[in-house]
Amino acid sequence: MPMLQPALDPDLLRTFSLIAREGSFTRVASQVGRTQSAVSMQLQRLETLLGKRLLVRGKGGAIQITPHGAWLLSRAQEVLALNDGIVAAFHTPEIAGHARLAIPDDYVLRFLPAILRGFAETHPAVEVEVVCVPSTEAVRQLRDEKVDLAIVSEGNETGPFEQQTLWRGPLMWIIPTRYPVHQQDPLPLALAAGECLWRDAALGALKAAGRRYRIAYTSASQTGSIAPVLAGLAVTVSPMTLLPDGLRAEKGGAGGLPKLPDAGILLLRGHPPHSSATQALARYIPDSFRSEACLTADAK
């Protein structure tokens, strides 16, 4: 009979993840309601179980994560998310109904699969209708009560909506890995057609830096802007997103591309009253975004 592998206690994984994030045994002990020595013992138990050091103290006593710890951290987040989802599925009151969500294609691949998968696991009786439209159109549909929630780029939140910031971070230049198109003069750009905050940010940064450019391609969707970049014919801009092979993201400030401003992603909620299904989805989306954003940051 094969030997059974020792089981990983989610409580130990949660304590390890908190220490890695907070960088302090004292703060974690306060959060979880345990003594500092108890938190330290939990980490020791996990390290003993795995046979590897996960966290060490560096110069000045700062807690640093080891390579084995970094490998475990992203997987611990996945295990804890699955654990919490299973528990929530059995303890969350049954909610049924219909929720309508508008989201631009800019964020669909990076965030929507995790949102839909996780929400369906915890709320299987809720039907989620997804409308993929640009941020400006998502706001219009929310105002016209055609959708209940909208995920939009910051700066498009016109109207008396309840709003919540899901993410803030730098816009990135998206350039091909095989073609030095970003070194061309003038710089060929693939940008959104019409009003777009990312377009304005890119053009403003280039003008401020005195960098010549030409708008070579325009598209109504981010996917359409990515295509000429993949072909090695232009560069574009985007916040964090999943990139196909052949593309890379750069912050700018070096290599001839100017630094871009920060951008934000917001969740907007339409006019009350809100159905229980809509409220449940609105509560779930920020948690899903935080998890996915963490994984993106770890990958950079």
Domain range 172-260, its CATH number among 3.90.1150.10, 3.30.479.30, 3.40.190.10, 3.40.50.720: 3.40.190.10
**Helix/strand/coil for 241:** coil
d(CA 300, CA 44): 29
Would the CATH topology of 10-90 be identical to that of 172-260? no
Q: Where are the domains of the chain?
A: 10-90, 92-169+264-299, 172-260
Q: What's the pTM?
A: 0.65
CA 217, CA 229: separation in Å to the nearest integer?
A: 10
Answer whether 64's CB lies under 8 Å from 1's CB: no
Rounded distance between C-alpha atoms, residue 176 and residue 259, angstroms: 18
Per CATH, the architecture of 10-90 is what? Orthogonal Bundle (1.10)
| Topology of domain 92-169+264-299, CATH | D-Maltodextrin-Binding Protein; domain 2 (3.40.190)
Mark the ranges of the chain whose per-residue pLDDT is less than 70. 1-4, 89, 91-93, 240-241, 254-255, 291-300
For residue 156, what are the CA distances in angstroms to 150, 218, 265? Answer: 11, 20, 10
What is the CB neighbour count within 10 angstroms for residue 268?
25
**Res 295: pLDDT:** 41
Confidence (pLDDT) at 1: 47
* Buried b / exposed e along 28-38 (16+ C-beta atoms within 10 A): bbeeeebeeee
For position 6, what pLDDT does the model report? 75
